[in-house]
Amino acid sequence: MSRVIVVGAGINGVTAAIELKKRGHRVILIDPGPLPHPLAASTDISKAVRAAYGPDEGYTDLAERAVKLWRKWNEEFGIELYHEVFDIELYHQVGVMFVRQRKMKPGDFEYESLKILKQRGHNIERMNSAQAWKRFPAWNANLYPDGILELEAGYVESTRVVATLIERAKSLGIELREAARFSCLDERDDRIAGVVLADGERIAGDLVLMAVGAWTPYLLPFTKKFFRASGQPVFHLKPSQPELFAPERFPVFGADITTTGYYGFPINRDGVVKIANHSPGREISPDSSERVVTAEEERDLREFLSSTFPVLADAPIVHTRVCMYCDTHDGHLWIARDPDREGLLIAAGDSGHGFKFAPVLGEIIASAVEETPNPILQKFRWRPDVRAGSGTDVARSNAKTSNAQRQTSNDEIKGA
């Protein structure tokens, strides 16, 4: 079998390395470390897992497959690597709620998600009555008259997932080169022969798999035509009434997410409520000194909290970070061989919604490596002709909405 060099030990790289090793390939996994890498998008306390994808049934199908495997991973990895009596789960099925500031109508992300999920037999509720909202007292329910609650969805503890998979990779005998910093591709005679590290070492391989997330357009400058690195603000808050944010009273949410961009999670074991934004973000290098949450982003958060979760309006922020996306022009993942550089495959472009698919990512990437059939690879193909702004994740805010615009919208709803 082939010798595959995987650059990047985030969720794409480590799942691919494990699957390729299981298929008999010799795998070298390279990362500058430490692992999990503190700046990687994978490294966070939580990532949402949902099958709601508007009218895009392909992603819904992929999410359904992933959820089954997340449950299997809870059984397999929880017992194997974590022995905390209070919690051995990586995936928490607490529900995911998407609500709107207006009644849902055809074409809306929430409306189309409801239609598809009902057709596919999901356990889903409509959030359009006082009775439905009664269970969730932290919300200003008057602001959100309609929406859906996907009861079989939830979230994963993403840093723990990556750490667990790194240990699995080691146990399988994958050669892990931590503290190895990629410098450039080793290009010879119109093919990629391996990689060159920052210290000058050359590592030869039959194929190089670049899985470096938001670093892709900086480590491979020719990909700047396809990828954009964007930073999104993430906030960890400490509520004064933590009981209101327990999972049974506060599921994972998107609060009119296609307009506001805001989403969040129930309180975790450290007493933290995470709220973040899923929008175009700021174009920025992952290594930039400007990779910090700005005062304006914090002000926007406070205005959102005061209208949506009044009890959180003055909650102390105990941690902030800027989560880096590797965005594609159409919002779809990019898992494909480079037609102009034999021996190179790129697995990136998660566009802020890839982690939920972790249990199936390795299989998809390995199919691209081996050039074996996998229907989803058509969506994730090499597509340099796709223009900026041609599409996006349907659960992502398409444009930054000003505070004034949001307030106008809120006032209209209150007066309706």
Q: pLDDT of 303-312, one tens digit each?
A: 999 999 999 9
Q: Lowest mean pLDDT: which of 69-83, 96-110, 153-167, 257-271?
A: 69-83
pLDDT at position 394, please?
78
Cβ neighbours of residue 92 closer than 8 Å, sequence gap 6 or more: 154, 155, 156, 157, 247
Start-to-end C-alpha separation, the chain: 65
Task: Write down the mean pLDDT value for the chain.
Answer: 92
pLDDT at position 208, please?
98
pLDDT at 79 over 60: no
Cβ neighbours of residue 307 closer than 8 Å, sequence gap 6 or more: 140, 143, 406, 410
pLDDT at position 392, please?
59
Mean pLDDT of the region 393-408: 56
pLDDT at 246 over 60: yes
* Cα torsion angle, 308, 311, 314, 316, sign: negative
- 191 and 343 in contact (C-beta within 8 Å)? yes
Both tokens of residue 16?
């691919």
Q: How far is CA 89 from CA 83, 153, 270, 363, in A?
A: 10, 14, 15, 23
Cβ neighbours, 10 Å, residue 415: 6
Which residue matches tokens 């659960």? Answer: 395
Q: Which residues pair with 264 in a beta bridge?
A: 253, 275
Cβ neighbours of residue 289 closer than 8 Å, sequence gap 6 or more: none
Q: What is the pTM of this model?
A: 0.93
Q: Please report, as a single letter, which amino acid is at residue 192.
A: I
d(CA 191, CA 186): 9
* Secondary structure of residue 48 in the 3-state scheme: strand
d(CA 252, CA 255): 10
Using one digit for the tens of pLDDT, what is the confidence trace for 84-121? 433 468 999 999 999 999 999 999 999 999 999 999 99
pLDDT at position 212, please?
98
pLDDT at 378 over 50: yes
Cβ neighbours of residue 224 closer than 8 Å, sequence gap 6 or more: 217
- Nearest to residue 356, comparing CAs of 56, 57, 36, 62? 62
pLDDT at 150 over 60: yes
Q: Please report, as a single letter, which amino acid is at residue 278.
A: H
What DSSP designation does 248 have?
T
- Nearest to residue 55, comparing CAs of 122, 123, 109, 131? 109
Using one digit for the tens of pLDDT, what is the confidence trace for 173-182? 999 999 999 9
Which residue matches tokens 């296609």? Answer: 258
Q: How far is CA 18 from CA 12, 160, 175, 365, 377, in A?
A: 10, 17, 11, 11, 19
16-43 burial code (b ≥16 CB/10 A, e <16): bbbbbbebebbbbbbbbeebbbebbbbb
Hey, what domains does the chain have and what are their CATH numbers? 1-45+157-226+329-384 (3.50.50.60), 92-156+228-326+389-416 (3.30.9.10)
d(CA 416, CA 413): 5
Which residue matches tokens 């615009």? Answer: 405
